[in-house]
Amino acid sequence: MFAKKDIESCDGTSRHADDISEPLIVHLKVTTDDRETSGLHSGNGGSIWMVMISTLFAVCGSFEFGTCIGFSSPSQSGIMNDLGLSLSQYSVFGSIATIGAMVGAIASGSIADYIGRKGAMGLSSIFCIVGWLAVYFSKGVIALDLGRVCNGFGIGLISYTVPVFIAEIAPKNLRGALTTLNQLMIVTGISVTFIVGTLVSWRTLAAIGILPCVLLLVGLFIVPESPRWLAKVGREKEFEFALRILRGKDADISEEATEIQEYIETLQDIPRVRVLDLLVRRYLLSVTVGVGLMVFQQFGGINGINFYATNIFKSAGFPSNIGTIIFACIQIPFTFLGAILTDRVGRRPLLFFSASGMLIGCILLATCFYMKVHDSSSEFVAVLALTGILTYIGTYSVGMGGVPWVIMSEIFPVNVKGTAGSLVTLVNWFGSWAVSFTFNFLMSWSSYGTFVLYSVFNALAILFVAKIVPETKGRTLEEIQASMNT
């Protein structure tokens, strides 16, 4: 989940579009193009090593995000048996992290602005460590749920702060690849947790969840603070020092430093946009696209399947350990494939393909559980369950997993992007909570009916993409925003 309150333009710096004069925009386009052409890794004496090191430490937070999301699926039977939880109590545990995450996401922008990007990442790590310790030592449902809420608040902070930190330290020609690393590490965290969870107890799995938090905390003593945040709060000497460390001691940072400071000065007199301001006709299409994509991303059933994959395999009669490992491993290459294809084939084709595959996967799962209810061949039902889940998660990873966040970052004018991004992220987390909380109840009501319901949402997603979502490939941010926000 990636809320962006500090707004990035095409070169990664912060500004509000409606209040920036044309000469400044033209000047910045020229300077960023020149800088991209020269390259920080070419003959200008610059270095990207500290950017890479800083990113690798930051995405320990992304990995932690994934471990929190992936924990409840392999741990379900162990926790329910050891602590005597009912189905409803475990459903609360599985979904309550998203409540904490919604609070964390709402507060993340203010926290990151007040104590800095490094401070916010450090705070998120502390919350996650406290959460894992509470889960590890829990003897009953109260400590278990409190720990999960702490984890949720921590990953709510992470969902905003890590991608913003990476965007603010990275040179323009590396920003796309490094942002993709953030998403890949989230998926890797989920996958590793699924696999390890089949091999160790749930308490051991909770203890392992502390490790990426500790790595991130250690890394924060090594990496510099975001230069853009330092400039924003008026710490000019530290700003230049941090930028020098990130670009290399021999790099010429004068042009980039001047550009950042000009943007910061432009921001000073611009009033903040409120949520109600997004409902005016000018922004309505962008808000509809952004919110709509997040609704269909979540209500297509992803977190029900993510959180309870192990239980789905058991219910379908497929060996849960084998199914969970296959489920975990398939996400990483398909997420990487989606990242490669986003700028090659376009956003809309990936969304069409992804939603169609998710629809097929849900239909296969609905058929599987319908046949199981009517005592069909258990061997065929198990194969159908595996095929349905792998079809679903593979196609989700290619498109619906990441493309909605790409489009969200493109369609909102920079003067409303922070507020709009917070709204869209809140909708996403609410959808995540709603699906994860209701999944077990829906499965108890009707196992095949659950996936018929998700099929309906995925079919509606195809229509939504066809009728409303624009193609943004190969267009500048100004062109996209001008066409959608007039």
- Ordered per-residue pLDDT tens for the chain, 486 residues: 434 334 343 344 444 444 433 333 333 333 444 444 344 443 344 568 888 999 999 999 999 999 998 898 788 889 999 999 888 888 788 778 888 998 988 887 778 878 988 999 999 999 999 999 999 999 999 999 999 999 999 998 888 788 778 877 877 666 656 766 777 888 889 889 988 998 999 999 999 999 999 999 999 999 999 888 888 788 888 888 888 888 887 777 777 787 777 766 765 665 666 777 677 777 888 889 989 999 999 999 997 787 667 777 777 677 777 877 787 788 889 988 887 887 778 889 999 999 999 999 999 989 988 888 777 666 777 788 888 889 999 999 888 987 887 777 667 765 666 677 778 878 888 888 888 778 888 888 888 899 999 999 999 999 999 999 988 777 655 567 677 766
CATH code for the domain defined by 273-486: 1.20.1250.20
Q: What is the pLDDT of residue 194?
A: 82
pLDDT for 144 equals 94
Domain ranges of the chain: 1-270, 273-486
- Tell the CATH topology of 1-270: Growth Hormone; Chain: A; (1.20.1250)
Looking at residue 53, what is its pLDDT? 92
pLDDT for res 392: 94
Contacts of 99 (CB under 8 A, 6+ apart): 149, 152, 433
pLDDT at site 25: 33
User: Do 273-486 and 1-270 fall under one CATH topology?
Assistant: yes
Considering the entire predicted model, what is its pTM? 0.71
